[in-house]
Amino acid sequence: MERAEALRGELAAARRETDGLFQLISAEALYSRPVSERHRLIFYLGHLDAFDWNLLARRGLGAASFHPSFDALFERGIDPAPGEAPGDQASDWPSQSEIERYNFRTRAWIDSHLSGMESSTVEMAIEHRLMHAETFAYLMHNLPYGEKRGGSLPEVSGRPAPANPMVQVEGGVAKLGQPSDGFGWDNERLAHDVPVNAFGISKYKISNGEYREYVRAGGAVPQFWVNDGGRWFYRGMFGLVPLPLDHPVWVTWRQADGFAKWRGLELPSEAEYCLAASRWGRPDALRDNFGSCRWDPVSVDAGAGFVGNGWEWTGDLFAPFAGFQAHPDYPGYSADFFDGAHYVMKGASPRTAERMTRLSFRNWFRPEYPHMYAGFRVVGA
């Protein structure tokens, strides 16, 4: 009973988190598509509660649908291949008030039946909602500044990029995946050990200052940089600021891999990341910058933890662990992306919920996708 009440509180908190995001944008922005490869923002207003309804009520408890068209329309997001962006119009979508009535009804039903639901399924709904809180944040990041409100500019210290030496990690055994007695998504199963040889890894994420040298040598410019009159600026959530050289650079996998090769190094494997992270200090949300404490990054050397301040690209393609079985309640969550076209990311960004900072959690994106809050470290002998 205590666990059920705790999950009720977590679900309510997750709803407050996502509801609050929609208060930060203008009514006009709700029907815009700030990222061409994703749905219009109005989709997410319906998707979060349609997912909960389809998972917890319809499939979980066999509830009869009261709005089948919305159940289907808002069931799943998109991740099209490059050049295959959707072509729908704003007028193709339902009104905000219609969607809000649907959401109200789904929440009322779920809340009145929550005590009879499987805890692991409720946790799945909570984590899904929190994942999309981050998705919505990076989509909102691409809106014009006049269409959003409520935030502040990131602090810029004016410091140069800090020295970023290679730190030696002794060889050992990396533990990948989540044990069966804890919540985890299907791609986190089955937990297993991977032997890892000794390696060196950059002490901090690669900074804007370090990456600027790569740009000067002809490297690709990150999505979050803006050049104005020969000066570089960081495109923050709520405004432009002079490029903070000591903050982590956020880039695509291609850009991260290109930088690593330029330096004669590599991106870490998932096992190398996990082994290094397990030997670092315990993460703290405010210090290390995750858990929605901020909208933008802070200095790479601001925290003592390994996790936070931006996801970290690995060199590994997203693939199943041995013994993988798709979750019956969400069979396409992972399996649809075991396609050799997505790379594993680890860690957390400023907008990642704390419960997703477990070391077993795996994120993944296409190598050219430029909008994620993702940085990287480099490894070598």
Q: What is the pLDDT of residues 179-196, one digit of tens each?
A: 888 899 999 999 999 999
In a domain, 83, yes or no: yes
pLDDT for res 80: 82
User: 371 in helix, strand or coil?
Assistant: coil
What gap in Å lies between CA 171 and CA 176, rounded to an integer?
A: 15
pLDDT for res 1: 63
Question: In this structure, are 312 and 360 located in the same domain?
Answer: yes
Among residues 370, 321, 373, which one has the least CA distance to residue 345? 373
Among residues 116, 111, 211, 110, which one has the least CA distance to residue 164? 211
Question: In this structure, are 296 and 357 located in the same domain?
Answer: yes
Share of the chain above pLDDT 90, in %: 90
Segment 76-104 mean pLDDT: 90
Among residues 236, 248, 28, which one has the least CA distance to residue 138? 236
pLDDT at 304 over 80: no
Neighbours of 65 (CB within 10 A): 13
Sign of CA dihedral 108, 111, 114, 115: negative
Segment 278-289 mean pLDDT: 91
Question: In this structure, are 332 and 263 located in the same domain?
Answer: yes
Q: How far is CA 246 from the centre of its chain?
A: 22
The one-letter code for the residue type at 169 is V
In a domain, 152, yes or no: no
Question: In this structure, are 76 and 130 located in the same domain?
Answer: yes
Q: Mean of the per-residue pLDDT values for the chain?
A: 95
Q: How many domains does the chain have?
A: 2
Q: What is the pTM of this model?
A: 0.96
**End-to-end CA separation in angstroms for the chain:** 51
CATH number of domain containing 310: 3.90.1580.10
Sign of CA dihedral 87, 90, 94, 97: positive
pLDDT for res 282: 84
In a domain, 19, yes or no: yes
Question: In this structure, are 285 and 367 located in the same domain?
Answer: yes
pLDDT for res 203: 97
CATH number of domain containing 117: 1.20.120.450
Question: In this structure, are 301 and 240 located in the same domain?
Answer: yes
Question: In this structure, are 362 and 280 located in the same domain?
Answer: yes
Question: In this structure, are 171 and 118 located in the same domain?
Answer: no
In a domain, 157, yes or no: no
In a domain, 28, yes or no: yes
In a domain, 153, yes or no: no
pLDDT at 335 over 90: yes
Residue 201 pLDDT class (50, 70, 90 cuts) = very high
In a domain, 159, yes or no: no
Among 112, 147, 182, give the residue marking a domain's end: 147
Domain of residue 44, residue span: 2-147
Segment 85-89 mean pLDDT: 86
In a domain, 156, yes or no: no
| Residues 362, 79, 211: CA angle, nearest 5 degrees | 65
Question: In this structure, are 204 and 317 located in the same domain?
Answer: yes
